[in-house]
Structures are given as structure tokens and as C-alpha cells.
Structure 1
Amino acid sequence: MIEGQRAQEKALSRGVPAKLDKLLFAVTGVLALAFIAWGFFGTDNLSAVSQTALDWVITNAGWFFVLLASFLVVYVIWLAVGRFGRIPLGQDGEEPQYKTVSWIAMMFSAGMGIGLMFYGVAEPLFYYISPPPGTVDAQTPEALQTAMGTSLFHWGLHPWAMYAVVGIAMAYGTYRLGRKQLISSAFTSLFGAKRVDGPLGKVLNIFAIFATLFGTAASLGLGALQIGSGLQATGFLGTVGTPILVAIVAVLTGCFVASAVSGISRGIQWLSNINMVLAFVLAAIIFVVGPTLFILNVVPAAIGDYAANMAQMASRTEVTGDEAMRAWLSSWTIFYWAWWLSWTPFVGMFIARISRGRTIRQFVTGVLLVPFAVSVVWFSVFGGAAIGTQQEAAANGSEGLVTMVDGEPTISFDGSLFDLFAALPMPNLLAGAVGVLAMILIAIFFVTGADSASIVMASMSSNGAETPPRAVVVFWGILTGGVAAVMLLAGGDEPAEALDGLQRITIVAALPFAVVMLLLTVALVKDLARDPLSLRRKLAVSVVGRAIQAGVEEHGSSFDLHTTEHDERQEPAASNNGVVPADSAASKSAAPEGTDRDGGARGGK
């Protein structure tokens, strides 16, 4: 590595601020403001355009989202188990920056969020009463397994494989090669340094910023929907419509801005740890108060269905069903893949920063398995409690958590968590306290999520600075809240319609970055193939292969292979690529030497 790269890496590791990229900041800022203005002043037009765009994306690119998501799972596993797995995300011999326990704890924190709060109850329960088209009958034991397996499919390996690709690329480029912490820097091997630092690099970074902006805004919109339902369920508000949801977004965005201006943003880790404890407390209450034995039985059923049917779930496209399948995919699988893709710059950078010094194999193992374990526990507790409660209600002849609309069973997605609290056998006071606890959780997730994502967007618009200007962070935070409000408005006047608006715009906005992700896999492999550790290993395998071939040709199967120290001032003790006949004196007296830590033979020819 050249000295300039080392100096740049040291500067980045110290968090030295970089200059604002005025052109990139201006272009992305103006486009984001234009979108917000479009949403506020042309809500109906934005809604119509987003629906048209969604129809086009589902028809023409739905297959691309489906294939890309599964490809990335195979890709990161291949990186981990193959010859690149031993490459460290740092310098040779560098120890991991964080201890394994702390690293796993932070990974756990990254795996939690508004999404798990919103869908932990709603998704398994909805699949139970309305399974994916063409699968099983509703409200049966088979529907329970399908519900849990499908939920894990959407929240398990696939999203974290996407995050892992960006995480590896960012950590490897920054901590091993000394590049800037920019998405564009990861494409140096593919397009060259000049193009990456020029207009092409700016376009790549713009795609990354917009993916982060819309993905984060979608999460904030979900948080606003759920807080609105919580306020209604606890009696603080009456009917909650889109104007109130926009007001909730505005209030929480103001909280974020206040935290950023006052410097409280430095306490994101502290707030995240509090949220992790509160989430554990909430899950423990539901586990104890709810159908505990039923929840324990759900865990193996969920894992079993996920493992047995993952290939079938990963191959669902529009051609595997009718219009019902098309609608289901756009509301669920393709929405999720687009949502996860839009989060990859944010989450990828986060896990890159906490994984310095670990090998690619360690990184992939932790990033895939730890969040997957969290998802299994979370969906088993909340989804299992909801399905168990619904089964008991059905046995007693009541609707339970389900309402009938036009003869079809349905649920309140944003209110299902609070409906579960009300249905569980606990005192009203405790149910109210649990509801308030859940709203606090969601609110903190909102503030820390907006704060963290805004820092990432500010960093990308400040040449990869780890400590971007606070004003830039606040700017992106306010825009994120504005985009969330616009996405809610584009859905309609009712919360359910607002959710449709979030999903439509997220899918459309994520398509350009999906192409970027595919190109990133090529650029990353080109970088790893040039790594000194990879080259040394490749050379060692080649040398040993040639030596064995020479030994077989000259001595048949009776020979020993060993390595010796090579002294340039003397003739080598052995010829024939280090091959000595097995019955020779040299072979009997020379014990095989070891290899160095990089897998290459020491000395010798």
C-alpha cells in the first residue's frame, strides 16, 4: 500500500472531517426538495405517477429483485467459504477493533428497528389468516408453519446478505486499501480511480444517498403509523388520519433536530443500548403473559418451514401465479427486497465500522447468523403470541385480532401490536403501560434511525467524512422527515392507504441502486483477487501443484515433497522443484518444513 493511502486511512480512522462535496450536495438536496414540493403541492399526481411506476417495475423488473436477492445470499456465502474468506478487513496482523461479545451486541442492535416493531405481530398473523396465493389453506396448522417460515424468509438471510456485500466492500476498501468511505470508492477496480472521482462516482453516490433517503423515510413512515395507532389504542387520540401522521413525523423530526444540534447525537449508542434492553423487556412480558408453551413450539416449526421451503419462496415471481400473486409480491417480497436494498448503504457502513480487523469469514458468519437468530426469537414471540391468541379466540367463537371486511378476514397492520396487548390476559393498567413502552421504543428508533441515517448521508455528501458538519446532518434529517411525510400523503387519507404509498415509492426508488449492487459484486471480487494474501495463496498452490506434477513424472508415486530455506549464495540442495525420491538419503534426513502464515512455501524453488 502506498504511503498516501496509509495517510488517508489514518485520517479516516481518526474521523478527520472532509470538505463538503458542493456539487453532490446541491444536486441531491435540490432533487429531494423538489420531491417534497411535488408531494405537498401535487399529492394526487405523485400518487398516480408512483402507481404507474410501480406497475412498470413489478412487470419488467420484479424478476430482477427476486434473482438479485437470492444471488447475494449465495455470493456472500461463497466469499466466506472460498479462498477470500481468510482476507482481513484491515491490515495484516491487525486485531479486531471490538471484542466478539461487544461486536455481537452491536449487531443485535442493528438487527432491531421500527420494522420489527411494525411487522413482528402483523406479518405472521396476516399470513396465517391469508396465506400467500397457491400455498395452503388459511387458519390451519400448515398455515401457521407457512406464516412463520415466510416471515423469516423476508427477515432472515436475504436482507443481511445484502448488507454484508456493502459492509465487506466498505470495510475492505477503507481499512485495508485506505480508500474514502464512499460507495463510489468500492468501484475503483471496475472503473478506475479517475472515473470514480469524476462524474460517474458522483452518480453512484447520488444513487446511494437517494436509496438511503427513501428507505429510511419508509421506516419513519411505518413508525408514525404505529405511534398513531398506539395513541388511539391508549385513548390519547380519537381517529388518526394522514394529517395526524404527518404531524407525528414533524414532531419526531423536531426531536431528532434538537438532538443533533445539542450534541445528543453522540449518545446514539447509549440510546440504542436502552432500546435493546426495552425491547428485551417487552418481548419477555409477551412471552410470559402470552401462550408461552405455544411460542416455544413455534420456534422449531418456523425454522423447519423456512429451511424446507426457502427455494420455493425465493422463486416466486409474477409468472408463478395470477393477479393475486402479482399484488402479493408487490406488497411483500419485492417491497422487502427493495426496502433492504435501500438500507444497504446505511447498514452496510455501520457494520463495516464495527468490523475492522475481522476476516471476511468471521464477518459473514456474524452478519448472517446473529440477526437471523434475533429474527427467529422476535417473530416467534410476537407472531407466535398473536397466532396463539387468534386460535384461542376462534375456538371460543370470537373474532379475536381479526376483523371481517366485505366477508374477508383482515387485520390492522399498524394497530395489530396494540390489539395483541389488549387481547392478552393482563390487567388494563399493565396493558396500557406496555403500550406506552412500545411507543417509547418506536419513538427512540425513529430518532436514532433518522440520526444515524442522516450522518451516513451527510458523510457521503462530504467526501466520506466520518464526522461530517452538523448542519449537513441536520439538513438530511429534516429532508428525511419531509420525504416520510410526502410518502404518507401519496398513499391517501387512511393509514392503510398511506402504507401502500410507502411501499410504492420505496420499490421504485430502490431500482437504480439494485443495479449498483450487482455491479458492486463484480468490483469487490476484482479487488479481493488482487489482494496480496489471495495472490500469495494462489502462488503457493501453483508451486505445490507443479512440484507434485514433476515428482510424479520423474519418480512415479514414490517420492517425498519438502521445503527448504533457499540461500541465494549457494546452490540449492535439491532440484526438480524440491522433489526428492522417497528412498534417497536426503528424503530420509529432511523433515518436511512448514509453510508461512499466508500459505506460501518458505524459500526453495
Structure 2
Amino acid sequence: MKRVSRVFYITAALIIVSVLLGALFPAASERITTDLKAFLTATFGWYYMWIMIGFVAISFFIGFSPFGKIRLGKDDERPDFSTPSWIAMLFSAGLGIGLVFYGAVEPLLHSFLDAPLSEPGSDQAIREGLVYTFFHWGLHGWAMYGLVALSLAFFQFRKGEPGLISSTLKPLFGDKMKGPLGKAIDVLATFATIFGVATSLGFGVSQINGGLSHLFGIEVGFGTQFIIISIITVLFLISAWSGLSKGIRYLSNTNMVLAILLFVGILFVGPTLLILNMFTETFGYYLQNFLQMSFRTAPLGTDNREWLEAWTIFYWAWWISWAPFVGMFIARVSRGRTIRQFMIGVMIVPTVICAIWFTTFGTTAISVQQSGIDLTQYAIEIVNFHMFDHLPFSFLFSLISITLILTFFITSADSATFVLGIQTTNGSLNPANTVKIVWGLAQSSVALVLLYVGGLTALQNTIIAAAFPFSFIVILMVASLLKALTNELKLMKKGKK
């Protein structure tokens, strides 16, 4: 394979070793990673809270300050993709399977089984369940994605640097980023990408298997999951071969159409008036209590610290661990936009869409639960399907849901092969198809191994651990970006004189 960098070979070797250790010693691997995750969340929870709210503040500052008029590219460049296609692509890469997987179950669990503050099942717990779901899927996470993506896009399209994480740190470290330190940073980003995506693919396969079992009685097990992954791998490799402008764009648009169909259907057959009222009230609660939730560390014994570590701190680390993959992909499809357009599109639009989606599915699930049907008794990957059973057109909704998971799966895997190709070919905007195929097969193989040994939990914990060192890299990226943007404004002002 031509043009691959040393990052390719180093990361491939680390992945092989990690998978072998997980397969040969699953119990020990899970115990070690669980202990490491517990230590990090208990000791550095306050740190995660500070950096995430800091990223939100910096994102708004950059987007609505004079920096906002700087274009991600030359001054005469315009966006490569239409705004609807652009939003569809960043949305599919940034959330994808997570929206369908957690759409009903997270608000349901927060309301009736694992409430953050109030008595489970109370009216206040139901409100808090939706508010904290918005919080976990809202501005904090998208600010993280946005800053990483903005750094990559600015240095790549405005300054002509390679599309690598290490390239964004040159204003701080200069040519040191061309040496071992830069390679180490790119290896960490690549490693986090492939395991983060593989873990999510494992979730997607589990939900597809659960849905097919629920609808058609197909057996739930590794054999079925092997067949599902094999078929999907062929499909996303065909998409990856066709390139960014065709495969991923068409799939992302398909995702949005299916998601809108499913959303509108549930909105109208579900408790429509209750959904509209709940969205209005709980989104207001989210905005009103935004700062209080952002700084909540639950330091006292009666503050439900366990919930905070299991949900909020877990989510902040999870967003950080996915930032190199999603940030690099968003950067690639955002060429030609101004920073202000970029920050509004990446932060505000997805936050509102997520809130509407979770209100619709969460309120419907809560309504079914209150009618006397206990949805919390089911495994989280099939809660959606049991909720559909109590609505009109249940079979159609389940079928659309499975198809949506499938297309999100293909889009995420396709996007990941593209990003992994960029990361391991010295930042090439059009990595060779052979490189993309290697990474596509690798991430499917990792997902299969994890499903076989039951190691999804261990690898999730590994990603959380990887997020801790990468968070320092993001802080450096932000400092480097602010320095570079300040210099860019000075150059623009000189050019006008």
C-alpha cells in the first residue's frame, strides 16, 4: 500500500495485541479496565466537568467573535456540500446508532429506574430524566466535536497543513510534531477511533439482532451477529470504494429521510400533545439549569455520586474518546464554510434536533410505562421494539428502526474507514481504497472478536481510559487554535490596508 505512514503499522500492531489479550484473558482484561475507569471517574470527575463547560464557552466565543468571519479555506472558496447534506453527514457520523439505541431507553431509565436526583417514577424525576438526557447529548458533546473539527479544518484548509491531529499543534511545538511526539499523538487518535467505532458497531449489531428476533423469531447469538456483520461489511466497503461525495453523502441523506419518517410517525401516533408540552417545558429547564448541571460534582454522601459517575462523567469521557474520529470527518466535509456558520451548524442545530428526538421517543416510552407496561424489564437494545408493540403500525416502525440502524451502521463504518485512511496516510484527503478496505475489515474483525468474547464492556472502559490523555491533547489543540486565529485576524487586517 502506497503512502501509508508509520502510524498505520504501529496502530495495527497495537490493535492486534489488544484484541489478542482481550480474547485470551477476557476476565482479567475487563477487571483491569473496569478498575482503571473507576479510578479515573472517581478521581478526575471534577476535571471532566471543568473542561467540558470550558469547551462550550470557548466554542461560543470563537463562533460569535471576530474569528467567526474567517473562512475554512481560501477567502473565495465556498462549501463543497449543500447545507442539508452537510448537516446529514455530520449528524450521521456524530450520533448515528446512538440516537436509535438510546432514544427511548435513556429518558425511561432516568425517570423510573435510575433517577439522578428525585424519587424514581415521580413527576419531577420524569422532567429530570429528559433534561439530563438533553444535557448528555447536547451542547457539551457537540462543542467537543466542534473544536476538534474546527482545529483540523482551519489548519488543513486555511493553512495547508496535513489533516492530522499532530498538525494542529505546530503553533505550540513547531517541527517537533514531525517527530516521535507527533507520531505518538496520531497513534493515540487512530487507536481511539478504531476501538470506539468497533464498540458502537457491536451495539448496533446487538440491536439489529434483537429487532430481527423480536419481529421474525431469528435466534439471538454470535452466529447471527457474525452473518449480520459480514453482510454489513460488504455493504459499507462498497460505499467506501465509491468515495465521499457518493457513498457517504447518499447514505447520510437516506439516514435523515428514514429518521424523519420514524420521528414523524412516533410524534403523531404517540401522545402528541404531551410530547409538545414536555419538549417546551424540559428544554426550558435544560437552558435554565445549564450551568448548575455543568458544575455538579455531587461531593456529599447524599448527592448520588454513583449516578454522576455512571452517566455524566461517562458521557463526557465517551465524547472525548470519539472526538478524533468525528472531528476529522466533520472537518473534511466542512471546507469552505465560515467559522460562524460552522459553529452554529455543529453545535446548535444538532443540540435542538437531539432534544426533539429524545422528547418524542422518551415521552412515548414514559407514557407506555405509566399505562402499566413495564418497559424497564427488557434489555436496553430491545426497549424500542417493545414500545412500538403498544403503538399503531408497530411492525412498520420496527422495520424502519432496524433499517435506520443498518444505514447508520454502514455510514459510521464508512466514515470511520475514511478517517482512519486519512490518519494513516499522512493526512491525505483521498486515501487509497486499499487502505480503507484494510481498516474496514479491521474494525469489523474487532467488533466480531468483542462480541465473541463478551468484551464490549472492557473495551468501553478502555476507551474511557484513552479519553483521559487525549483530553490534554484537545486542550493543547484549543490553545494552538486560538493562537493561530489571532495571528490570522492580524494578517487579514494587514491585507485590507
Aligned Cα root-mean-square deviation (Å): 2.6
1:72, distance to aligned residue in structure 2 (A) = 0.7
Query: One-letter code of the match for 2:374?
Result: G
Instruction: Report matched runs for 1:369-448 at 5 Å.
Output: 369-391=348-370, 393=371, 398-403=372-377, 411-424=378-391, 426=392, 430-448=393-411
Q: In the alignment, which of 471, 474, 487 is matched to residue 514 of structure 1?
A: 471
Contact between 1:182 and 1:463, CA under 8 Å: does it hold in 2? Answer: yes
Q: Which range moves more in the overlay, 92-101 or 338-347?
A: 92-101
1:259, distance to aligned residue in structure 2 (A) = 4.7
| 3-state SS, counterpart of residue 289 of structure 2 | helix
Q: In the alignment, which of 305, 310, 333 is matched to residue 325 of structure 1?
A: 305
1:110, distance to aligned residue in structure 2 (A) = 4.4
1:81 to 2:86 alignment: no
- Residue equivalent to 2:192: 211
Distance 1:55 1:387, change over 3 A: same
Q: For 2:450 and 2:475, how far apart are their aligned partners in 1?
A: 27
1:41, distance to aligned residue in structure 2 (A) = 1.7
Distance 1:149 1:18, change over 3 A: farther
Instruction: Report matched runs for 1:473-488 at 5 Å.
Output: 473-488=436-451
1:99-127 Cα deviation digits (max 9, x unpaired): 44554454454455100010000101111
Q: In the alignment, which of 321, 332, 337 is matched to residue 342 of structure 1?
A: 321
1:170, distance to aligned residue in structure 2 (A) = 1.2
- Percent identity among equivalent residues? 40
Query: One-letter code of the match for 1:41?
Result: L
Query: One-letter code of the match for 2:192?
Result: A
Instruction: Report matched runs for 1:78-117 at 5 Å.
Output: 78-110=61-93, 112-117=95-100
Alignment gaps of 5+ in structure 1? 1-16, 404-410, 493-497, 540-597
- Residue equivalent to 1:534: 490
- Residue equivalent to 1:158: 140
Instruction: Report matched runs for 1:80-229 at 5 Å.
Output: 80-110=63-93, 112-133=95-116, 135-192=117-174, 194-229=175-210
1:402, distance to aligned residue in structure 2 (A) = 3.1
- Residue equivalent to 1:460: 423
Query: One-letter code of the match for 1:179?
Result: E
Q: For 2:225 and 2:314, how far apart are their aligned partners in 1?
A: 21
Q: In the alignment, which of 270, 279, 292 is matched to residue 312 of structure 1?
A: 292
Q: For 2:466 and 2:449, how far apart are their aligned partners in 1?
A: 14
1:63, distance to aligned residue in structure 2 (A) = 2.5
- Flag the structure with more relative contact order, 1 or 2, with Cα contacts below 8 A and sequence separation at least 6: 2
1:375, distance to aligned residue in structure 2 (A) = 0.5
Alignment gaps of 5+ in structure 2? none
Q: For 2:246 and 2:97, how far apart are their aligned partners in 1?
A: 21
Contact between 1:170 and 1:348, CA under 8 Å: does it hold in 2? Answer: yes
TM-score by length of 2: 0.92
- Residue equivalent to 2:331: 352
Query: One-letter code of the match for 1:344?
Result: A
- Residue equivalent to 1:47: 30
TM-score by length of 1: 0.77
1:407-443 Cα deviation digits (max 9, x unpaired): xxxx53111111111122x2xxx32232122112111
Distance 1:536 1:276, change over 3 A: closer
Contact between 1:131 and 1:146, CA under 8 Å: does it hold in 2? Answer: no
Contact between 1:212 and 1:345, CA under 8 Å: does it hold in 2? Answer: yes
| 3-state SS, counterpart of residue 380 of structure 2 | coil
Q: Which range moves more in the overlay, 380-389 or 501-510?
A: 501-510
Q: Which structure is larger by alpha-carbon Rg, 1 or 2?
A: 1
Query: One-letter code of the match for 1:212?
Result: T
1:507, distance to aligned residue in structure 2 (A) = 1.0
1:386, distance to aligned residue in structure 2 (A) = 0.9
Distance 1:453 1:101, change over 3 A: closer
